[in-house]
């Protein structure tokens, strides 16, 4: 942008960019305050340099550790959770396809027994990915499906069991209790399994995603985020607020509806997209 | 609630101002900072907030602080009035064609917004009003989308017209209208696939439907949790295919729902109903004034 000085107008424009990217006012204010201090400390004069500093510091914050994908190399159980319609079932299918392509033995579990045709939907995805599915009837107990799936994963010596769950709003107590029960069944039935619990967030979501991450983290310790629908015009900046508050990293992004449209998170691309 | 309500915050801002005759520009600016924060926190679009604050600022400066009102209440009064200006104050119902002419309703929106569920919810509502609805499965892409609509239609006791996933949605829609005429249906609701507002082919698919059959109401279904992008989405759906109204879903969550205000501000189209849960009865009348209070956190 055409600024020649680092002045209030310049900072205001940065602020606008961050808010429009859904970082939220608190995170935005904290980032700008931190940036101003760094600019002073490093005696930075050029707006371009200042912006690069901003980009770099968000990038550092969002960087994913080397061990983030350790579950791929272990006997693991991956649980996908989140509110309604964010892309859980689709992401289960995509992830299953990717791991299968890497030569892993994958099983998926249809633990959404509530939503109309959720089981049929996951069945279609398991066909696309070419992996086994464990399912029961619509209306059955999701914890019982998980029990079956864990048993099958052990018996068939699967590398990764990926569990789909029903969409649930984080403010619904009984549904969150159900999730706790699912989590407990896994821990009890397969204590040695490497656990990966991913909260799926719709990249179009605003400030509420922070409340979602917090509440889901309380019932099942989340180890990462799948940020979906980044193929649209939304930037998914709330993930930055979540990373600052909860320290939970984005591990995957969804960029479409096809089986290949799931990518490992790249902090550089993500942060650059905020400013484009 | 963990945070102070906006009205408490405004009272605090004006604590020492009581008895002052008129609101100065500086007083108002300080107060409106709180309003701005509340709106942004609620996900109202940044540009919409900016315009809103400007309007309120102009109105509030120089206002007499009448003896019965504290300055805080004065600002709240103006904020409320301007919110009503933006959101509207009346509830709006979905329009039907006169007599027994077939009313065709097209449901559209982003992926996962709640179209299929809302289609079935509407069918139940219309049925109880004595209408004879037909649901049409025009989503040929999402795995098990047709099955989902069929199951939900069954639950509502409303028939679902489908031609599988090998026909173009426009042809499915045309055939559905013929079927509706033959079977005396007077409301036809088209459930379409989720699509991005920037996906030209998919947007053209909706345009093609509207060019070939007479759609009476085009309804945009939007997730209440949507952030700043709600403006892009609703503007592009409205500009490209034209919408008549909006249904906001998942308001049973704890989101403040600022998207509702943004959408209303950029499209001028009414919000018709609110989705309040996953059950097919969870569709409620939309009250703009209650939504305004929710967004402001009051
Ligand atoms: N554009 C886009 N669409 C996506 C992406 N991920 C999922 N979707 C679409 O979003 C919609 C919802 O996806 P689902 O996988 O059914 O979401 P879910 O979280 O399982 O939904 P519930 O089980 O109903 O809570 C579908 O139309 C998907 O095709 C993505 O990364 N980009
Ligand atoms: N809590 C809650 N969930 C809802 C509401 N409306 C829809 N849902 C849920 O949101 C998810 C997505 O709903 P769908 O009806 O499949 O959404 P869609 O827009 O048809 O999705 P696509 O066809 O994939 O684009 C499902 O889990 C629904 O049960 C609502 O008002 N409240
Ligand atoms: K959504
Ligand atoms: Mg699902
Ligand atoms: Mg649908």
Question: Does the pLDDT at position B292 exceed 50?
Answer: yes
pLDDT tens digits for range B177-215:
999 999 999 999 999 999 999 999 999 999 999 999 999
Tell me the mean pLDDT in the region A113-129: 98
A206 in reach of chain B (CB within 8 A): yes
Query: Of A146-155, B54-63, B116-125, B167-176, which range is least confident?
Result: B54-63
pLDDT tens digits for range B210-252:
999 999 999 999 999 999 999 999 999 999 999 999 999 999 9
Sign, CA dihedral A199-A204-A210-A216, equals: negative
Q: What is the pLDDT of residue A215?
A: 98
Average pLDDT over all residues of chain A: 97
Question: Does the pLDDT at position B19 exceed 80?
Answer: no
Cα gap B204→A267, rounded to integer Å: 34
Nearest to B20 by CA among B84, B97, B77, B72: B72
Exposed e or buried b for every residue in B75-88, given b needs 16+ CB within 10 A? bbebbbebbeebbb
The preferred substitution site among A199, A257, A262, A265 for testing ligand 1, maximizing ligand atoms within 8 Å of CB, is A257
Count CB atoms within 10 A of the CB of residue A2: 4
Tokens of residue A218, six digits: 């309380």
pLDDT tens digits for range B265-279:
999 999 999 999 999
Q: In sequence order, which residues have a C-beta less than 8 Å from that of residue A34 and are 6 or more positions away?
A: A57
- Model confidence at B30, pLDDT cuts 50, 70, 90, reads confident
**Count of residues making up chain B:** 298
Tell me the mean pLDDT in the region B155-176: 98
Q: E strand or H helix at B86, and its extent? A: helix B71-87
**Range B73-78, long-range pairs (CB < 8 A, 24+ positions):** B73/B7, B74/B23, B75/B10, B75/B14, B75/B23, B75/B28, B75/B31, B75/B32, B75/B35, B76/B6, B76/B7, B76/B10, B76/B298
Question: Does the pLDDT at position B2 exceed 60?
Answer: no
The preferred substitution site among A90, A124, A198, A230 for testing ligand 1, maximizing ligand atoms within 8 Å of CB, is A90
Nearest CA-CA distance, residue A61 and chain B, Å: 22
Question: Does the pLDDT at position B112 exceed 80?
Answer: yes
Question: Does the pLDDT at position A1 exceed 70?
Answer: no
A131: phi then psi, degrees, rounded to nearest 5:
-125, 165
DSSP, res A211: H
Tell me the mean pLDDT in the region A106-115: 98
Q: What CA dihedral angle connects B178, B145, A119 and B110, to 10 degrees? A: -150
Tell me the mean pLDDT in the region A192-201: 98
| Ligand 2 within 6 A of CB of B145 | yes
pLDDT tens digits for range A241-261:
999 999 999 999 999 999 999
Interface of B with A (CB under 8 A): 37, 40-43, 45-46, 110-114, 141-145, 147-148, 150-152, 155, 196-198, 223, 225-229, 232-233, 250, 252-256, 258-259, 278
| Terminal-residue alpha carbon distance, chain B | 11
Q: Establish, for the pair of chains A and B, how many residue pairs have beta carbons separated by less than 8 Å.
A: 134
Q: What is the pLDDT of residue B69?
A: 67
Q: What is the pLDDT of residue B68?
A: 62
Tell me the mean pLDDT in the region B21-45: 89
- Model confidence at B1, pLDDT cuts 50, 70, 90, reads very low
Q: What is the pLDDT of residue A40?
A: 95
Write down the ipTM of this complex. Answer: 0.97
Three-state SS for A41-60 is: HCCCCCHHHHHHHHHHHHHH
pLDDT tens digits for range A9-59:
999 999 999 999 999 999 999 999 999 999 999 999 999 999 999 999 999
More confident: B4 or B77: B77
Tokens of residue A63, six digits: 């960087």
Cα gap A77→A160, rounded to integer Å: 6
Instruction: Count the alpha carbons within 13 Å of A226 in the hemisphere toward its beta carbon.
Output: 29
- Model confidence at B9, pLDDT cuts 50, 70, 90, reads confident
Cα gap B37→B39, rounded to integer Å: 5
Q: What is the pLDDT of residue B16?
A: 63
Q: What is the pLDDT of residue B64?
A: 76
CA dist B164 → A211, B118, B137, B141 (Å): 39, 21, 8, 10
Cα gap B206→B242, rounded to integer Å: 10
Tell me the mean pLDDT in the region B284-293: 94
Q: What is the pLDDT of residue A46?
A: 94
Q: Chain B interface, mutation test: which of A120, A206, A234, most B Cβ atoms within 10 Å? A: A206
Contact of B225 with A84, CB cutoff 8 Å: no
pLDDT tens digits for range B74-104:
888 899 899 989 998 889 999 999 988 999 9
Cα gap A32→A40, rounded to integer Å: 12
- Model confidence at A137, pLDDT cuts 50, 70, 90, reads very high
Q: E strand or H helix at B284, and its extent? A: strand B283-285
């Amino acid at each position: 942008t055409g600024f020649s000085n680092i002045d209030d107008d310049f900072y205001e424009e940065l602020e606008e960019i961050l808010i429009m990217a859904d970082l939220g006012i608190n995170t935005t204010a904290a980032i700008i305050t931190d940036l101003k201090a760094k600019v002073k400390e490093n005696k930075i004069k050029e707006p371009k340099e200042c912006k690069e500093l901003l980009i770099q510091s968000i990038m550092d914050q969002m960087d994913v550790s080397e061990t983030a994908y350790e579950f791929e190399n272990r006997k693991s159980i991956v649980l996908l959770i989140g509110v309604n319609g964010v892309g859980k079932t689709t992401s289960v299918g995509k992830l299953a396809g990717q791991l299968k392509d890497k030569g892993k033995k994958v099983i998926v579990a249809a633990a959404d027994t509530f939503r109309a045709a959720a089981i049929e939907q996951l069945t279609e995805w398991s066909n696309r990915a070419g992996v086994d599915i464990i399912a029961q009837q619509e209306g059955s107990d999701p914890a019982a499906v998980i029990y079956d799936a864990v048993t099958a994963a052990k018996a068939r010596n699967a590398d990764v069991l990926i569990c789909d769950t029903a969409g649930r709003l984080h403010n619904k107590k009984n549904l969150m209790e159900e999730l706790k029960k699912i989590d407990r069944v896994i821990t009890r039935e397969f204590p040695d399994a490497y656990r990966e619990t991913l909260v799926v967030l719709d990249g179009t979501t605003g400030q509420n995603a922070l409340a979602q991450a917090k509440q889901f983290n309380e019932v099942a310790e989340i180890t990462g985020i799948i940020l979906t629908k980044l193929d649209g015009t939304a930037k998914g900046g709330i993930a930055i607020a979540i990373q600052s508050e909860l320290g939970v990293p984005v591990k995957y992004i969804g960029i479409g509806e096809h089986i290949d449209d799931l990518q490992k998170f790249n902090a550089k691309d993500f942060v650059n997209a905020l400013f484009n | 609630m963990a945070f102070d309500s906006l009205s408490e915050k405004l009272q605090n801002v004006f604590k020492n101002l009581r008895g002052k005759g008129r609101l100065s520009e500086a007083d108002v600016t300080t107060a409106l900072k709180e309003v701005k924060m509340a709106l942004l926190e609620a996900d109202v679009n940044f540009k919409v907030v900016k315009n809103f604050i400007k309007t309120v600022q102009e109105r509030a400066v120089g206002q007499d602080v009448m003896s019965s009102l504290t300055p805080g209440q004065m600002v709240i009064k103006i904020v409320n009035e301007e919110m009503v200006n933006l959101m509207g104050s009346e509830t709006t119902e979905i329009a039907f064609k006169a007599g027994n002419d077939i009313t065709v309703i097209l449901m559209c929106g982003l992926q996962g917004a709640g179209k299929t569920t809302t289609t079935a919810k509407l069918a139940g509502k219309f049925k109880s009003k004595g209408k004879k609805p037909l649901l049409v499965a025009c989503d040929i892409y999402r795995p098990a989308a047709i099955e989902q609509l069929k199951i939900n239609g069954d639950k509502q006791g409303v028939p679902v017209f489908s031609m599988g996933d090998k026909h173009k949605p426009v042809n499915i829609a045309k055939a559905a209208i013929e079927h509706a005429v033959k079977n005396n249906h007077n409301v036809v609701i088209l459930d379409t696939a989720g699509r991005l507002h920037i996906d030209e082919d998919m947007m053209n698919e909706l345009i093609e439907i509207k060019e070939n059959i007479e759609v009476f109401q085009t309804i945009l279904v939007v997730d209440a949790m949507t952030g700043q992008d709600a403006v892009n989405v609703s503007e592009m759906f409205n500009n490209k295919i034209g919408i008549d109204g909006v249904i906001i879903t998942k308001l049973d969550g704890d989101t403040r729902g600022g998207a509702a205000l943004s959408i209303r501000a950029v499209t001028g189209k009414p919000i018709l109903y609110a989705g309040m849960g996953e059950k097919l009865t969870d569709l409620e009348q939309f009250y703009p004034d209650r939504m305004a209070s929710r967004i402001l956190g009051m």
